[in-house]
């Protein structure tokens, strides 16, 4: 008989207009793409519950309120750079990865900045309007030459660097302020790096801003900063509205301190009733920085590719709320990620969900890799037995912090005969427990030490962990009892520190062992404690 299998394809919601290549790439990967540009927030809140992914540009917004309903959502991708329209914290808490496509529109945004700079300096827009009115004014539109002038670039990131390169080619002297860029990186660009914003503002004939909008850059340029600038300075802002105070810019223009401003971004977009637009010294464009065919296509393609990778388990590139791992890095880390997660689940069950502090020690090759992902995997596993909905790589660090679990990470050069070791030490209020895992050639993962006992155990399935006195007959008595209770042993590992001391017995069994049987084992001669651990 022919059996038909129905399955629901994964769905991605596009809530801004995106180049058609975006839909094509998603559908080719078997993911259904639904385009709803301009969907109102209340409808989005309802609609989002059916989707695994959302792609947006700068027009739409994903607020906390919307996320409360996003039960299936696993990934949000912003086609572009700025993610101030996505509630990253809310997404992180819910285990939703947030990604962006920072490269695709860099050149277009830099070119637009230069276009605004020229247009402002040569009053192109004002002269054009005047000509349309039938006027032939020349003196009124006397401009200033860029060559030989000083351009102050605030924020020497992707776009700032491209602006700097282009401005230098125009024979401008470029100075830049970016406290987070090392002198070595700055030295690769034709700029002079200054040490403070004040220094830049005091020297620049033109100032252009290329920082992200966040709590420390909101109102970065206000009355105080305008006062520090040269009289007659020109301002370009093609970064984000809210970084330059519009009210203070208005006052600075009216007072003559600022001779002109070229603005692509506004505190409120579209900027209805914005007084700046009434000033003849201001030229403005409606957030056009990335609005070129090339940039639109590049960000849409990149967003779709990132989404496909994220939803099909190929890894999270450009994740903003995850430790970054390239696909290659992810591949190298995969065995460690796997074993770390199981170690977390194992230790949490062994300690009755009471873990207060965690120390992860990486030794060997792994110590030189990006261990954040491995640490977070450990936390995913650790939290799994004590959280209703579990945790994932994105939400685990936040949830661990919320639960008051202190996490510290160190590296060690002590690796013994192994090439890699991952040791996890956990403490509850009462007990301390440790587990060491090793990855062997070929990627096989095994536990090689538990609480100081050398073992060779596979972390899988149902495991009985028994601490006992190392006396003859121990293994036999446990095995016999399990046999009588119809429990099949799949694998058994024994470890001891010295003959006649305490020993550990780890038994992989084919099915769960009831509490009654566990109690029977506990009552066997020489047995100190018994615990059942379940691993996926």
Q: Where does this chain bind ligand NAD (CB under 6 A)?
A: 80-82, 102, 105-106, 109, 154-160, 177-181, 210-213, 216-217, 220, 238-240, 264-265, 287, 289-290
Interstrand relation of 75-78 and 53-56 (parallel, antiparallel or unpaired): parallel
Task: End-to-end CA distance of the chain: give it in Å, rounded.
Answer: 34
- Give the pairing type, strands 502-509 and 462-469: antiparallel
Instruction: Please confirm, yes or no, whether 71 is among the known catalytic residues.
Output: no
Provide the minimum distance between the beta carbon of 221 and ligand NAD in the complex, in angstroms, as a whole number. 10
Q: Reply yes or no on whether 103 is catalytic.
A: no
CB of 277 to ligand NAD, least distance (A): 17
As measured in angstroms, the least distance from the Cβ of 463 to ligand NAD is 46
If the CB atoms of residues 181 and 282 are measured against ligand NAD, the closer one turns out to be 181
Of 53 and 152, CB closest to ligand NAD: 152
Q: Give buried/exposed letters for 182-210 (b at 16+ CB in 10 A, else e).
A: eeeebeebebebbeebeebbebbbbbbbb
Q: SS3 for 179?
A: coil
Burial class (CB in 10 A: 0-12, 13-18, 19+), 17: middle
**Nearest-10 Cα torsion for 413, 416, 417, 423:** -80
Q: Which of residues 136 and 180 has its CB atom nearest to ligand NAD in the complex?
A: 180
Catalytic residue chosen out of the listed positions 111, 199, 267, 269: 269
**Residue placing its CB nearer to ligand NAD in the complex, 103 or 135:** 103
Task: Please state, as a whole number, how many other Cβ atoms lie within 10 Å of the Cβ of residue 34.
Answer: 15
Q: Kindly state the greatest CA–CA separation across the chain.
A: 108
When the beta carbons of 260 and 289 are compared against ligand NAD, the nearer one is: 289
Pick 177 or 453: Cβ nearer ligand NAD: 177
Q: Is there a catalytic annotation at residue 293? A: no
* Minimum distance of ligand NAD from residue 213's CB (angstroms): 6
Catalytic pick among 240, 317, 334, 384: 240
- Residue closer to ligand NAD (CB basis): 287 or 334: 287
Q: Which residues contact 11 (CB under 8 A, 6 or more apart)?
A: 31, 32, 33, 34, 50, 51, 52, 53
**Smallest separation, CB 101 to ligand NAD (Å):** 10
Burial environment of residue 428 by CB neighbours within 10 A (0 to 12, 13 to 18, 19 or more)? middle
Q: List all residues 6 or more positions away from 51 whose beta carbon is below 8 Å from its beta carbon.
A: 11, 12, 13, 34, 70, 72, 73
Q: Using the minimum distance from each CB to ligand NAD, give the nearer residue, 299 or 459.
A: 299
Nearest-CB residue for ligand NAD: 157
| Shortest spacing between CB 118 and ligand NAD, in angstroms | 16
Least distance from ligand NAD to the Cβ atom of residue 111, Å? 11
Backbone dihedral angles phi then psi of residue 194, each to the nearest 5 degrees? -100, 160
Task: Single out the residue of 105, 510, 91, 48 nearest to residue 291, CA to CA.
Answer: 105
Tell the smallest beta-carbon distance from residue 209 to ligand NAD (Å).
8
3-state DSSP assignment of residue 469: strand
Q: Where are the beta strands (DSSP E) in 62-109?
A: 75-78, 97-100
| Residues forming beta bridges with residue 410, ordered by sequence position | 361
Show the tokens assigned to 522: 């506990």
Instruction: Catalogue the active-site residues.
Output: 240, 269, 287
């Amino acid at each position: 008989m022919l059996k038909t299998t129905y399955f629901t394809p994964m769905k991605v919601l596009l809530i801004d207009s995106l180049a058609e290549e975006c839909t094509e790439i998603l559908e080719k990967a078997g993911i259904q793409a639904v385009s709803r540009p301009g969907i109102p927030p209340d409808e989005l809140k309802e609609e989002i519950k059916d989707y695994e992914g959302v792609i947006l540009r700068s027009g739409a917004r994903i607020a906390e309120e919307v996320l409360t309903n996003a039960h299936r959502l696993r990934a949000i991708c912003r086609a572009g750079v700025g993610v101030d329209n996505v509630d990253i914290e809310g997404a992180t808490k819910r285990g939703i990865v947030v990604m962006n496509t920072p490269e695709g529109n860099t050149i277009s945004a830099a070119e637009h900045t230069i276009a605004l700079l020229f247009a402002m300096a040569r009053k192109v827009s004002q002269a054009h309007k005047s000509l349309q009115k039938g006027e032939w004014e020349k003196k009124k539109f006397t401009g200033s030459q860029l060559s030989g002038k000083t351009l102050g670039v605030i924020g020497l990131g992707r776009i700032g660097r491209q602006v700097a390169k282009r401005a230098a080619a125009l024979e401008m002297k470029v100075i830049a302020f970016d406290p987070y860029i090392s002198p070595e990186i700055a030295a690769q660009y034709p700029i002079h790096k200054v040490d403070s914003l004040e220094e830049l503002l005091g020297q620049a004939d033109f100032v252009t801003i290329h920082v992200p909008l966040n709590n420390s850059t909101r109102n970065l340029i206000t009355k105080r900063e305008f006062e520090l600038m040269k009289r007659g300075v020109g301002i370009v802002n093609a970064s984000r509205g809210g970084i330059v105070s519009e009210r203070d810019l208005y006052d600075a223009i009216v007072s003559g301190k600022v001779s002109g401003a070229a603005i692509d971004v506004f505190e409120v977009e579209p900027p209805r009733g914005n007084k700046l637009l009434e000033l003849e010294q201001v030229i403005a464009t409606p957030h056009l920085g990335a609005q070129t065919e090339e940039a639109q296509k590049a960000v849409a393609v990149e967003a779709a590719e990132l989404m496909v990778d994220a939803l099909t388990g190929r890894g999270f590139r450009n994740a903003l709320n995850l430790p970054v791992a390239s696909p290659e890095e992810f591949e190298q880390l995969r065995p460690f990620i796997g074993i770390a997660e199981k170690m977390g689940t194992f230790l949490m069950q062994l300690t009755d969900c009471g873990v207060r502090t965690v120390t992860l020690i990486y030794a060997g090759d792994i110590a030189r890799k990006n261990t954040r992902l491995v640490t977070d995997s450990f936390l995913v596993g650790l939290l799994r037995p004590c959280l209703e909905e579990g945790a994932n790589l994105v939400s685990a660090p936040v949830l661990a912090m919320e639960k008051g679990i202190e996490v510290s990470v160190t590296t060690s050069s002590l690796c013994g005969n192994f090439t890699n070791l991952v040791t996890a030490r956990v403490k509850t209020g009462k007990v301390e427990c440790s587990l060491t895992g090793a990855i062997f050639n070929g990627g096989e993962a095994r536990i090689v030490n538990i609480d100081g006992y050398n073992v060779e155990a596979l972390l899988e399935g149902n495991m009985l962990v028994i601490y006992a006195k190392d006396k003859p007959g121990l293994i036999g008595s446990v095995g016999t009892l399990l046999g009588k209770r119809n429990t099949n042993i799949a694998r058994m590992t024994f470890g001891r520190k010295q003959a006649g001391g305490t020993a550990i017995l780890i038994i992989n069994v084919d099915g769960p062992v009831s509490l009654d049987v566990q109690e029977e084992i506990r009552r066997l001669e020489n047995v100190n404690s018994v615990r059942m651990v379940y691993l996926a």
